[in-house]
A and B are shown apart, each in its own frame.
Chain A
Amino acid sequence: MKLPMKLHHIARSEMDPVSIVRQTDAAHAAHRRRLARKSASEARGGVTRRSTLWALSAAGLITFFGIWWLAAAAQLIPAMFLPTPLAVAQRFVDLLTHPFVGFTLEQHLWSSLQRYLMGVLLAMAVGVPLGLMMGWFRWLDYIVSPLFETLRFIAPIAWVPFAALWFGTSVGGPVLIIFAGAFPPCVVNAYRGAKQVDERLLEAARMLGLSNRMIVCEVLLPGALPAVVAGLRVAAGLGWMSLVGAELIVASSGIGYMMVKGQAAVDTATVMSAMIAIGMVGAVIDLLLGRTEAFAMRHRRRARQ
C-alpha cells in the first residue's frame, strides 16, 4: 500500500533516531567497526573495554561542567551573564520555595502543564480519529488532505498573533498553539497506521465472516496501534516545545513566562533554572510515553524475533 508522497515523507521524518540507534547497537554488538589491524586477543576482547567507555562518559561530563565553572568563577564572562553551576542549582532550589513573578517554580510548572495537557489531549482526541478515518476512507482523505497540507507548514508558533487576537492572555491562546503543534503528528501517524494494516489480515477477517464493527475493533484498530502510539509520542514532544514558545509571548504565568521575566531582569540563574525544569519535565514526558509505546508494542517485538 503506497501512501501519497507528502504525508509518507513527513511520517518518515518524524522517526526517533535515538531508538533506532538503540536497536542497531544491540544488533551490532558482535561486530567490530575498526579496520585498523590489531592482535587477535584484542579483537577478541572487543574494540574498547566497557570500563574505558564509562570513564570517558564521566570525563565528558566533568569537562563540560569544568569549563562552565572555570569560565564563571574566573569571571571570564561576568557573573551576571554566566553564573556558576552551583549558583544555578542554588537558585533552582530557592525557586521551589520562594515565588518569582507571582508563583514558585512548581506553581508555574503546574500552570504550564495544565495548558499543555489541555492542548495535547485535544489534539489527540481530534487528530487520531481523523487520521485513522482518512486512512480508511479515501474520500475523506481526498477532501481533508489538501487543507491539512497547506496548514501544516505553518509553524505552530506563527499562530501566536491569532491566539492573542482571539483569546487575549486567557488559557485559550497557549492551548491553540499547543494544538497546532501536536495535531499534525497525531493525524499523520494515525493515517500511516491505518494504511499500514496488513492486507492479508483483512482478507483473513473477511474470510472468517467478521462483521464490520468486529473488523474495526479486532483488526484495524490493533493494527494501527503502534503507529498511533509513536505519533502520540512525537505529538507530546512537539506540544511541549510549542508550549514553551507560546508562553514566551502570550502568557501571564507558567514556566515560559518565568523565563521571559527572568531574561528581562537579567536574572540568568532563574532563566537557567527554568530551562532545567523544562528539560526535566520534557524528558519525563518522553520517558513515560516511551514506556507506553514499548508496552503497546510488546507483542510485536516478540513476533519479530
Chain B
Amino acid sequence: MHLVMRSARSVVSPRLGCSIVTLATVLLLWYAVTGLTGMVSAARLPSPLDVWQALVQVTVEGYADGRLDQHIVQSVKLVLYGFLTATVSGVPLGLWMGQSRRAQAFLNPIFIMLRPIPPLAWIPLAIVWLGLGDAAKVMVIWFAAFVPSVINSFAGVRNLDPSLIEAAEMLGLRRSQFVREVMIPGALPMIFTGLRLSLQASWTTLVAGELIGAVRGLGHLLTQGSLDIFPAMIVVAMLTVALCGWLMTVLLGLIERRSMPWRPSR
C-alpha cells in the first residue's frame, strides 16, 4: 500500500490530487442531498443523474429547437463576430490614442462619458434600434469588447519604459520603425490583458442578450429550461457556458504565449 501511495504521489502533484478529491466529494454530497435522500426537492436543485440525462437529451435529441452543438455554434458565432470586430477596431484606436496626445485629448471625453455605462445597459437600446435578432446582440457584444480593448492598448503604450523610448530615439528610429519594432511589441502584454477582458465581457453580454430574446443559442437554452421548469437543463446550459468561456480563454492564452516568445515563462 505504501509503495502504491508513494509512486502515486510522485506522478500526481498534491494540488491536483486534492482537486480531484474535493470535486468528487462535492459530487457525492450533491447526489446524496438530491437524488438519494430527496432532502432538496428536484424542482429546486436537480441531482447529478438528472443533469446527466438532460445533457444526453440535448446532445442527441435536441431541446429548445436545436441540439447542443447547434446551440454552441450559434453562441460562439455571435461572440466571435462581436469580439473580433471590436478587437480589430479597438486595438489600433487604443494604440493611436496612446501615442498621440491630440488623439487622446479629442477622444477621451467621449470615452469618459460612455465608459461608466455597463455594456448590458445597452441591450434595451440595441433592441429598440435593431430588433430582437442577432444584429442587436452583436452590437452590444461589440461595445462590451471594444472598451477594454481600447483602454488596455492605450495603457500599454503609455506604460512603455521611458528609457526604452529614449534608446529608440538615440538609435535614430523613424516613426514607422518605432511603432513596428518598439511600440507594438512593448504594448503587447497589456493588449492581451485587454483581449482577455474583452472576451470575458463578450461572453457575459452574449448570454444576457440571448436570455432576453433568441431563437437559438446557449442563452436561449437557459431561458427555455427556465420556462419549462427544467432545472437539470439549466445546469447543463450553465456548465456549457462556463466550459466554452474557459476553452476560449485557454486558446487566447496559448496565442498570447506564442506571440511573445521573449517573456520568461511564469
Residue ranges of A at the interface with B (Cβ–Cβ < 8 Å): 2, 4-5, 8-9, 12-13, 15, 17-18, 20-21, 24-25, 27-28, 31-33, 35-36, 47-48, 52-54, 56-57, 59-61, 63-64, 81, 142-147, 150-151, 153-162, 164-166, 240-241, 244-245, 248-249, 256, 259-260, 262-263, 266, 268, 271-272, 274-276, 278-280, 282-283, 286
Contacts and interface: CB of A to CB of B under 8 A. Distances in A.
Contacts of B43: 165
Contact of A33 (B99, B116, B120): B99
A245 B117 CA distance: 12
Contacts of A153: 242-243, 245-246, 249
10 contacts: A60-B106, A142-B22, A144-B22, A153-B242, A154-B238, A155-B241, A158-B238, A161-B234, A241-B118, A282-B117
Interface of B: 14-15, 18-20, 22-23, 26, 43-44, 99, 101-102, 105-110, 113-114, 116-125, 127-129, 151-152, 154-155, 158-159, 162, 165-166, 168-169, 173-175, 178, 190, 193-194, 196-197, 203-204, 207-208, 211-212, 222-223, 225-226, 229, 231, 234, 237-239, 241-243, 245-246, 249, 253, 266
Contacts, number: 204
Contacts of B117: 275-276, 278-279, 282
A271 B204 contact: no
Closest 7 CB pairs of A and B: A263-B124, A161-B226, A17-B155, A146-B19, A142-B18, A56-B105, A279-B116
Nearest to A80: B128
Dominant SS among interface residues on chain B: helix
B124 A31 contact: no
Nearest to A151: B242
Contacts of A59: 106
Contacts of A12: 193
A271 to B, nearest CB: 5
B159 A165 contact: no
Contacts of A283: 116
B225 to A, nearest CB: 6
Contacts of B223: 161
Given A35-B169, A57-B106, A154-B238, A5 B124 contact: no
Contacts of A155: 203-204, 207-208, 241-242, 245
Given A157-B208, A161-B225, 4 more contacts: A35-B168, A56-B105, A155-B245, A158-B241
Contact of A160 (B22, B127, B222): B222
A248 B223 CA distance: 13
Contacts of A33: 99, 101, 165
Given A161-B223, A162-B231, A282-B118, A31 B108 contact: no
A248 B122 CA distance: 11
Contact of B229 (A5, A165, A241): A165
Contacts of B18: 142-143, 146
